[in-house]
Amino acid sequence: MSAGTSTRPASTDKSALIAAVQQTLVEFFDSRHEFVDELGPVFVTAADSLRDFVLRGGKRTRPAFAWTGWLGAGGDPSGPAAPAVLRACAALELVQACALIHDDIIDSSRTRRGFPTVHVDFERRHRDREWGGDPAHFGISVGILVGDLALAWADDMIAAAGLDPAAFARLAPVWAAMRTEVLGGQLLDIHGEAGADDSVAAALRINRYKTAAYTIERPLHLGAALADADAGLIAAYREFGTDIGIAFQLRDDLLGVFGDPEVTGKPSGDDLREGKRTVLIAEALRRADATDPTAAKLLRDCLGTELTAEEVTGLRAMITDLGAVDEVERRIEDLTDRGLDALERSSATPEAKRRLHAMAVSATKRVS
């Protein structure tokens, strides 16, 4: 897809930006029809599943940070480069789709945003049609490929965005680094869940690369690169993005144990059942190892097991009593303050600073 008809969002209108990103994604998926159809109905079904997954909703956080980063570095939303920049920003949603689809497989998650996860949906299709082989293995296999397709199409969307050669050359190394970081962070997460390292430092490293880098830091960096920002603004964006991105994930850690399933769309205490070595859990273990070895053993023994609602409630109380929740809240507050200070000291435009400040507060105080 080259230069096209994508809606141009107003520079400060969040709803208009979300609508513009949605329309841009619709246009991209529509541009794939002819090629997809040639591969036949099996591939059409898989591509439709990806389309549904991406277009179903979401906060469009990553494109919003990239677009606002571009504006803050002097990008003109009414200028000739804006449609191509918007398409490049929207491509981040396909990277996100890849990460979520694969993450659901890794975590054995059955639902996402109130719908069956991609691999569970294809498992159900296999079972309903009484095909040969194991339905679960089939679903996982298709889910892996649909996630791979999302990542491949993210690259295609960037390549076809219509960026001028100089802008594309500035974007390319940032895009490459982001893809590697998110995959590396996912591998660190799997390694952590295996129990190889349950330290706070290891959990923070996972947050840095699995979430912060591709959620806020690199999207801002991408926007700045597209606007040909100077090194000082890029460094400030990256500092802000890292701190707010880690705070964002720390909030997610709390929601993964204490969140309301009616709001989060995930079962209560899911992170405990999945055995995630989050900063919250690592901090609880660190404190229990120092003061209550029996509690430490119980928490380690329970992580990654099928827990009853009562057991989840008991573990929540234990984690709270150990002071881990208060410590994570303190970290969120400190990181948010530090990130906002870096933003305020930057050369970003006043309007972008205002918008990024609001986005940071929203990301770190959210309930879903």
Query: Could you say which architecture CATH assigns to the domain 165-368?
Result: Orthogonal Bundle (1.10)
Residue stretches of the chain with pLDDT short of 70: 1-8, 10-12, 195-196, 265
pLDDT score at 307:
94
- What's the CATH code, domain 1-163? 1.10.600.10
pLDDT score at 1:
40
Alpha-carbon gap, residue 239 to 262, rounded angstroms: 34
DSSP 3-state assignment of 116? strand
Structure tokens at 128: 């309903």
Question: Which distant-in-sequence residues (6+ apart) come within 8 Å of 322 by Cβ?
Answer: 283, 284, 287, 288, 291, 292, 295
Task: Report how far apart, in Å, the C-alpha atoms of 222 and of each of 90, 174, 352 are.
Answer: 12, 6, 15
Dihedral in degrees, nearest 10, Cα atoms 104, 110, 113, 114:
170
| Domain positions in the chain | 1-163, 165-368
Dihedral in degrees, nearest 10, Cα atoms 225, 230, 233, 234:
40
**pTM of the complete model:** 0.92
DSSP summary character for residue 265: S
User: Does 1-163 match 165-368 in CATH topology?
Assistant: yes
Per-residue pLDDT tens over the stretch 208-230: 998 999 999 999 999 999 999 99
Task: Report how far apart, in Å, the C-alpha atoms of 271 and of each of 202, 208, 321 are.
Answer: 17, 18, 18
